[in-house]
Structure 1
């Protein structure tokens, strides 16, 4: 396979993975896979959460396609597609786990309009701690924070986590 065609497959796969990630997040993780993903909408108590299993699950197709395309004699395009899946996973890890959730200490502060937008969109996604009523399921492409706030308001803030001070007050009233 020619390099230009391989690189095109790689780039198209990285772009297509955002659509896949949106669908998996919205209809699998917030659907039948909520039993794993709900750990990600709760405060983390250690370095790991059940939701981290999704990284291993989504790495399997990448690994299989790379192995098949490089070692098992399959169509070489599968290796480029597998590499694109792996690249999206690395980009996602960098944005999601390092920049947004700060699971790896860094001094990085988002300054660009784009970075501020995706960080704020993901944080608005996390104000809802229930399976339903969420907003912003994509990651590298995110609606404006204003439109997400309007969606949450339209839903009467259903499932939105109470501010910490309110939770403390509610607990003291019991």
Structure 2
């Protein structure tokens, strides 16, 4: 039964991390944390970005949960589910690294999907990068991508209302 609970906690954490990533991307990275995130939205030379500091924050969160679940660190105060929450955060970080940095931004490998969900992910994230600056925008999640047609419609409405400035026409 404890194995089932551990697997459930890991899966639930991975799913919950998409909401955590969406909300932190929308309200922190495109808010008061724009200073770290800005270079991700602008052309730049070099392999690393200030935005990569957010990966260190994610790793620190995962490590903290591992520590909270560790009897070596916490002794009798160890909380066993924390270890599996830490694993879930780690798994989400790996998925994020492969999907966002690898597939979408092609930092690790070169492959442009021609169809399917991978293509939808790439399109949704490119539409996220269609705005100039931190205001407005769509598709703040990293793994679950909305329909690009709906995202384009939302961007057009934002442009018409003066909420977002678009790099190129979104048709």
TM-score (norm 2): 0.89
- Deviation (angstroms), 1:156: 2.3
- Deviation (angstroms), 1:67: 2.4
Answer yes or no: is the 8 Å Cα contact 2:101–2:108 preserved in 1.
yes
State which of 90, 93, 98 in structure 1 corresponds to 2:94.
90
- Deviation (angstroms), 1:92: 0.3
The answer to whether structure 1 residue 139 and structure 2 residue 142 are counterparts is yes
State which of 78, 85, 93 in structure 2 corresponds to 1:81.
85
Q: Which range moves more in the overlay, 66-75 or 85-94? A: 66-75
CA distance in 1, matches of 2:106, 2:34: 22
The answer to whether structure 1 residue 43 and structure 2 residue 46 are counterparts is no
Moved >6 Å (runs of 4+) = none
Q: Deviations over 1:87-120 (max 9, x none)?
A: 00000000000110011133x3324421111110
RMSD: 1.6
Q: Deviations over 1:5-26 (max 9, x none)?
A: 0110000000000000000000
Matches within 5 A, 1:91-110: 91-106=95-110, 108-110=111-113
CA distance in 1, matches of 2:16, 2:109: 30
TM-score (norm 1): 0.87
CA distance in 2, matches of 1:161, 1:154: 15
CA distance in 1, matches of 2:6, 2:61: 18
